[in-house]
Every structure is written in structure tokens, then in C-alpha cells.
Amino acid sequence: MENNYLKTRFASVFDRDRKMWTQILILGFLMLFAHLSTYAQPCSPDLAMTITTYDASAETVSDAKIRVSGITNSNYKVGISPGATYTGPAFAALGVYSSLTTGFVAENLAAPTAAPGTQYTVRVFNETGTCYTDQTFYLPYVNYNYAPTYVDLEATITKSPAGDVPLGGSATLTVAVKNNGSLDATGVVFQIASAVDLTLTGNTTVAGTFVPGTGVWTIGNLAAGATVSLELIYTVNSRGIKEVTAVATAVNEIDLDSSPTPNPEVEDDEAQICITTHRDFCNGDEYTFALTSGNYAGVVWQRSTDNGATWTTITGNTANYEIATSGALIIKSVGDYKYYRDATPTACAFEGCCPIKVIPGLPPILTKPTDQVICAGQPSPLIQSTNTQTGYSATAHTTYGIPTAITGFLADQGVFNYKWYNNNGPSNNNLDSIPGNTTLTLTTKPTAAGIYNYRLISVQAGHTSCTDTTEVQFIINETPIVAATSNSPICQEDTIELAATNDAINPTINPFPAASFQWWGPSGFTSNTAIDTVMNAQSSKAGNYNVRAFYTANGLECSDTTTIAIVVNPLPDIPNAIDTTYCQQIAAKRLSVLPRTSPVSHNGTTLRWYEGPTNYTYTDLPDTTTAIGYNVGPWANTTVAAGQYKWFVTQVDALGCQSHPDTLVVTIDAKPVKPTVKDFAFCENFPTTPLTATTSTGSYALIWYGLNKTDIPGIVNPTHPAPPSTTVGTFTYWVSQYNTVSNCQSDTADFDVFIKDTPNAPTVVEPVYCLNEVAVRLRADSVITNTVSNVPNTLTWYWNGGTQSAAPIPATNLPGATWAYVTQTTLYELPAVDTISCESPQAPLKITVNPLPVASVIPVSALCIGTESQDDGMLILTRYRDSDQAAWNIGSTVGATPTFAAIPSSGIIASNLPNPTAATQDYSVRVINSFGCTIDVTVPLVAKDCTCPGGYCEPATVTKTK
């Protein structure tokens, strides 16, 4: 987080009306429009503003910024100018505050070059430009410090391609020398050496000169942080491991962690790399990985099975490898192999050394023939395998991590022999070879039902350990015979009855299981049982029904299918009953039915009546059994309670088939009850809503009488206009409802409207935080006017464009000022309304967030001379202000009671720090600014390795021993 300069001016939150003479107002506005900045006056009281400054990120980077916050009106205008007096743009030329990005009024400012800093003045105009408030402040001077400089040569060698290089292939090595220090180096010279089995065929460098005959690379000058490189191209003349080294032999400056003399184990200005050629592997092969020195003390062998992505340590003897008595590694499987040794008090470590790759040979790869199952009598299927071994693919070198393609077979690969055998099947229970079957296809196959197992073996000619085997199964089954019966013909909506059997004889050889059955027919009918029914038969369900008997044995389904015809006769049409509506207690009438306009063949010959309430029962009413027409059915009962009553009527054809019933509804309307009403309550001088009442369910409407129920006929409307809220008191309103279908009207219902008093605004407490400090909820105090519970009124917070009941927790991630607003609400208890809440005007609350220091700490490790640490580590503070103070201690956290001290101009707050005994030692620094805000910075002081820089490997060889 950047540091900030914060200064707050107390100001009023709200502008206040001013009384002026009419003539002065007219003259003032004319002058304002002519030139607002000329006639504007200082505001009284001052307008609120908070100024925050952001330091430049670096001494030479112009990115300092000034932010204005705490503005109470986003339509105010803000200007800035350098110096103690405002000389910036006039009111008319400025944009409103809301147009600023996060309130920044100035950006890309240069860092001040001397204390106390650069002076600026900010001016804030009110919304009309009639007055302004100025604030003068400093963009403070900031101290910037840097770490000491030195020379540190580091050499590395990389290889392309990165993996093994085939015999006769080429490898490109890049020798890179970097000055990892902060001081330029001069007079730099390196010596390049390579194995005798490598032929140098090319070299390229853009820095200095290289002599191929001597291997001397004269670099010359090397700037701090710069890297130069030498590209060497070698041709590989033999299999195994070849070594290339690069050693610094001269430099004018002192390189404190090395010197230009051959000592590869303890210096980082020397580098080496291995070029290896891969081996192939078949079962029984062995390779011996040995160090040329014969010294295996502390040596650890490692193996990778994912081309070096991950490595595991080799211990003991397994089928994949063996550690010989001498300490050498005997390789018995494919993979990548390498070695390392940890450092000891008398010797340096070497790691990731000279990995050798062993890749697979090319055995046959047989595909498994598809297992075959047929029904007896079917033609014999093709049983055939394929050998998919085509040699190394075009991408095999990528698979094995070899950069050069090795496509196809080698000279001793690619010829394969084949032989078929019985494989102890239930019907061929032996392992005998099958005469004449010496290809990838099995030509001799049985015809009798049974289960037969076979095996195919392939061997690479001349390399019997490269082999592959595959197996196949051949099964012969039987077929079922299906028969079907039904109850056709039937009437519509009757149930179709279906039955099927399997008449096949089960054989004794390879018997089949009980058959399953599958029906399908019209209208998507399906069934999976031998005996089934089709409910609710329709004409669409008439037609042919198919049944299939089947079983599955040994993975093969055998089946048989037959067909049976089903006839479905239609039902008569539904009669046409007439719905009727009556009022309660009127004279009863008879029910009515009219004929359908449909073909005569679909009409019935008689009617049958049934009385509800939910479904018809089979009880005929004799007096109306055959009548068709108006008022000829049973008598409707109008003496019952209001509601709907159901009757049902059907017709029956000459065959005795009865139609579906038609429903006749008799509706009895009743006098409506009063509408449901409730009391209403509103706050004084707050908006009210239209008054409502709830009608009964159905077709009902409201009739409003307002405050006078004798005001007949009233007003038909869903709601009553919103009542006034200017007078506190209780007011009674009247309403009724009527049925819009029967026009029956209810009695009137009355309800009350309450207008309640509104409270004053609450008092507030304005908090001050440091940037990113954990904030607590804002505080406001309410008065005790709650008429329900006699406790303080409920607070409502207006925050971030919304409202909430709980006090908000302000954000502290941006320095400056923000505003919150709060109201209190009085809760009233009222008869039939329960309660009503009346909210006060808003009270403003200012939140101030002070900035943090932004100083950073530069840890400087101790230097090495030879292999001795000088114990001169330092902590340097940079980007801090003169008013900042600091305290430090060892460890990853600041102590409980740090002692702060002024920061020296050099920024060095700790010196002569010892070289850590571990990899790093944490130091913690706390910086405090003039606002009392702090930051904690924990930095690791990195231990300087004065002994073993790494990068060295003991030379080794790999030879085939079996």
C-alpha cells in the first residue's frame, strides 16, 4: 500500500439557506455567470474535505498522486495548483467531484527532491460556485536507498536437444556466463574443455572471441546483471557419457564467492554438462553404470520411469536394478538413471548427474481377437489377431525423451513367428497345438454346440525374449420357438389379454436358460413378460401384436418372433348435459340433456342418471332413464347450502356398452359475507398507500363509502385513495362487497386508519482508523421513545447505496474519509395493526482512515571471501519519510514492545548481521508514521554459501555387461 499524507478540515455536512435582499441575489448571479471564480467567496463554515498523498513508487518515477475524499456532495467541483495560493482553473472549467477516478485530483507527479516536499493548494467549490474552501499542504519528501554493489560471476551450460543424443547425432551446447552481482566486471576469460569422443563442428558468440583449438573464450567486460553466451556444436562419436566443462580463468575485480582457479566443487564460476547416448532393452539385458573414480562413498543412485519428471532413490536389489559390491549400478530394466552425493564436512555435493536412458526393444504386439458367439447353424465367424508392432513411431523419440527420431525397425527386428493352441476350454480341454495354424488367423474351427478357448503365441525371430500372447473364446448356442394366444375381439376400454410360450427343446450341450419375452404392438405397446394385459383398449390399440421369445447365453441373444391380431369395438358418444345456475331457495327445476350431432352408429339407445358429489354410482333414476330434452331429468335441489353440485349422465348402445359420463353442474349462489378488512397505520408527513380490503374468493368487487357509510351508493373500485398523513389521529372508513355474477351484496365492514408521530434524528460517534485496520461497527445513540418496549428506538443505517439494521463495519482499505448516515425508528403498538415503525431524518457520520507507512526493507546478505563469511549482513530501509521511525528484531514477528528510533539518512537500521546458519534467517521491522499507524515487514536474510556452489558431477561411464 502506498503512503499518504492526510489532513482533515472540520466542515459542515449540509449547506444552510442564506437570506439575501432580492437585488443582491440578482447582482450576485449575474456576476457568477460572468466569472464564477472572480466573485466566489470563502465558504462559512468550510466545506468538508480530506487530502491524501501517495508517494512515488521510485525516486525517478513520476507516479505520485493526490486524492481528495470526504466530499459531502458529488456535484461539488475540485481544483488543484502548485504553491501556497490557489491559481488553478476557475469554477466553470472544472468537472464535478463524481467525475474524478476514486477522487484522484492529480497523478503522475514527480517525487520531491528536498524536504519538506512540494507545496500544493486544493480548492473545493460548492454546487453553485458561489463559495469555496482552500487547503494548502505538502507532497512530502521521501528517502530512497539502495543495496551495495559487487561482482559475482556464475557459469551454466545447457544442451539442445535436452535429452540423450543418438550415435552420430549432434548436440548444441550454450555456455552462459552471468554477472549476478551489482558491479560491472572486466577482463573476463573462460576455458572450454570437452571429451575426446566429441567433435566440435561449429561455434558462435556475440561477446568476445573463442579459439576452437585452445578452447579459450575471451569475454572482456560484463555489465552487472548482464549475461553472455557461447554456442558450441558437437557430433557424438560413441555411445555412453561425454563431459564438457567451462572454467573462469581471469577477472580483474574481486569475485567474493569464487576466484579464477580450477576448483569445480567450490566455485560458481565453473560449469559442466554431460552428453549421453541411449541404450535399448529386452528381457535379460544388463548395463553397468560406474564412476570413473571408483569412489562411491555417499553416492545415491536414482531411477525415473517418466522421462525424468520424478525420481526415486534406488535401494537394495530388485528385478529392475542391482547395486554391485563395488557400488556401481547394474541396470536391468528400462528407465532413466542418474546419481548424486550430498555434501560432507570434507567434500561437496553433486546432484542430477549424467542421466542415462534405457528404452524398450520391439517385441510383437498382438491384438486380442474378438470373442465369438453364434447360434447353432450359423456360419463360422472370422477369428483373427493382428501384430501392431511396426517399429519405433515417428514420435517414439518424444515418448522416451529422445530428441532425434528413431523411426522403424533396427536390422535385427521385424520378423515374427506365430502358433495357435487349444486353451483348456469346456469343449477343448487341453493345451495342444493346432496343426497347420501358423498365421494370425485360426482356420480350424468346430461346428457342434459348446464352448471353445484358444491361444495365439508370437515370438520375434532371433530374439526369443521378445514375445506376446493373446487368447480368444468361441461359443455355439441354440434358438427358441415362440407361440402366442389372446382374448380378441373385445370392446373399447376392455382389457386385452395376451400370452406366449417358448416351445423349443433345451439341448444337453450348452443348455440355454429360461426364455424371456418381448411384446410390441399398436400405440407403442411393449411388454417384457410372457403373459400381459393391455388396459383401456381403444381403436388405436387394435391390430397386429408381435411377441418375441429370446434368451442370452454366453453374451449372445437368440430369438424367435410371431404375430397375433386383436379387434377392438368402439363405445357410444358422451351425452350432452346442460349446466344450470340457481339462487338459494328458488323453485326447483329438472335437469336437461340434448342429443349429440354425431353418426347414429355412435349414439346409445338409453340414458342413465347418477348423482354426485365426486363420481357417479351405478343407481338408475327410473323416471328419466330414456328421456332426452330440456327439463326432463331429475329435480335440482335449491334448498341446500350455496355451492356447486354434480350430476352424471351416460348413454348405452344396443350391445350394452355404456358411454363415458357427461358432468352436469348445478350452481347455488348465496348472499356474500362482509369483505375482510384490517386497520392501517402511517407515519406523520410520510407517503401513504391506497386502502385495501379482501373480497371473498370468486367474482366479487368492493364498494367504498369512505368516512361516511351512509354515502350511498358508494364507489366501486379495487382500492380507496391514499389517506392524508398531515394530522395525527384515528379515522374510520367503510366498505362492502358484491357478487359480480349474481349481483348479491354483503353488509358494510368498518376499519381504522392511524396517523402516528415521527421521531428526531439520533446522535453519532465518528471513528478514526489506520489503513487496513480491523474496523468495528459504527456507533449511533437513539433516544427512548419506543412506545411498545420502552427501549431505545431501532436504528437504520444508510450505507453503500443500501440500508441495513445492523451498524455497518466500514472498509479501511483506502485512506481518506467516507460518510455513513443513520436514522432511528419509533415502534408503535396499535389495536388490530400490531405495530408501525416511524423513521427519523438522517444523521451524517464521518469515517476517517489514516495512511500506513510504505517503507520497504532491503536485506543484504553477508559477503564471502574464499570460503569465509564476513558476517556483515545489513537491513536497509528505503522509501520512507523523515517523520517515520523504525524498530527491528530477529524472528518472523515483531516483538511485543518494540523501541522505535529515527531512521538515518543512509536507511541502514541494522548492520554487522551474522551469516545465518540455516538457509535463511528472518528479521522483522516495524515502521510507524506521524499518525501512529504501523506496518510490519519480515524479510529473510539469505545465508551466503561460502563452500559448495554446486553444478559439479563426478565423471561416469555406462557399458553393456550382459
pLDDT of 258 reads: 62
> Taking a C-beta distance cutoff of 8 angstroms, is the pair 548, 528 a contact?
no
* Highest mean pLDDT (candidates 102-111, 160-169, 593-602): 102-111
pLDDT exceeds 70 at position 342: yes
pLDDT of 12 reads: 33
Q: Sort 493 into a burial class: Cβ within 10 Å, 0-12 / 13-18 / 19+.
A: middle
pLDDT exceeds 50 at position 831: yes
Nine-digit cell at 525?
A: 405397446
Whole-angstrom distance, CA of residue 207 vs CA of residue 683: 87
Q: Do domains 7-143 and 482-569 have the same CATH topology?
A: yes
What mean pLDDT is predicted for residues 715-733?
93
Whole-angstrom distance, CA of residue 867 vs CA of residue 256: 9
Whole-angstrom distance, CA of residue 300 vs CA of residue 214: 36
- Say which residues have a Cβ less than 8 Å from residue 927's Cβ, sequence separation at least 6: 853, 855, 877, 880, 884, 885, 886, 934, 935, 937
pLDDT tens track for 914-958: 999 999 999 999 999 999 999 999 999 999 877 655 555 677 777
Neighbours of 318 (CB within 10 A): 11
The contacts found for 54-58 with CB under 8 angstroms, 24 or more apart, are 54/2, 54/3, 54/4, 55/2, 55/3, 55/111, 55/140, 55/142, 55/854, 55/879, 55/881, 56/109, 56/110, 56/111, 56/142, 57/2, 58/111, 58/144, 58/879
pLDDT of 599 reads: 56
Q: For domain 482-569, is the CATH number 3.40.50.300?
A: no
The structure's pTM equals 0.46
CATH of domain 856-942: 2.60.40
pLDDT tens track for 261-278: 444 444 567 788 888 888
Whole-angstrom distance, CA of residue 817 vs CA of residue 850: 9
Q: Which secondary-structure segment (H or E) carries 38?
A: helix 36-39
pLDDT exceeds 80 at position 656: no
CATH of domain 680-756: 2.60.40.10
Shortest CA distance to 844 belongs to which of 866, 825, 864, 821?
821
> Taking a C-beta distance cutoff of 8 angstroms, is the pair 933, 852 a contact?
yes
Shortest CA distance to 486 belongs to which of 528, 547, 432?
547
Q: For domain 372-477, is the CATH number 2.60.40?
A: yes
pLDDT exceeds 60 at position 27: no
pLDDT of 703 reads: 93
pLDDT of 960 reads: 64
pLDDT of 11 reads: 31
Q: Which band of pLDDT confidence, cut at 50, 70 and 90, is reported for residue 366?
A: very high
pLDDT tens track for 864-895: 665 677 888 999 999 999 999 999 999 999 99
Question: Residue ranges of the domains in the chain?
Answer: 7-143, 146-277, 372-477, 482-569, 680-756, 763-850, 856-942
What topology does CATH give the domain 7-143? Immunoglobulin-like (2.60.40)
pLDDT exceeds 70 at position 616: no
pLDDT tens track for 781-819: 988 777 777 778 889 999 998 999 999 999 999 999 999
Whole-angstrom distance, CA of residue 657 vs CA of residue 568: 13
Q: For domain 763-850, is the CATH number 2.40.160?
A: no
pLDDT exceeds 50 at position 14: no
pLDDT of 704 reads: 94
Give me the half-sphere count of Cα atoms (radius 13 Å) on the Cβ side of residue 538.
5
Residues paired with residue 875 on neighbouring β-strands, in sequence order = 859, 910
Q: Which band of pLDDT confidence, cut at 50, 70 and 90, is reported for residue 30?
A: very low
Architecture of domain 146-277: Sandwich (2.60)
pLDDT exceeds 70 at position 720: yes
DSSP strand pairing (350-360 vs 279-281)? parallel
DSSP strand pairing (580-583 vs 662-669)? parallel
Q: Tell which wins on pLDDT, 893 or 504.
A: 893
CA-only gyration radius of the chain, Å: 51
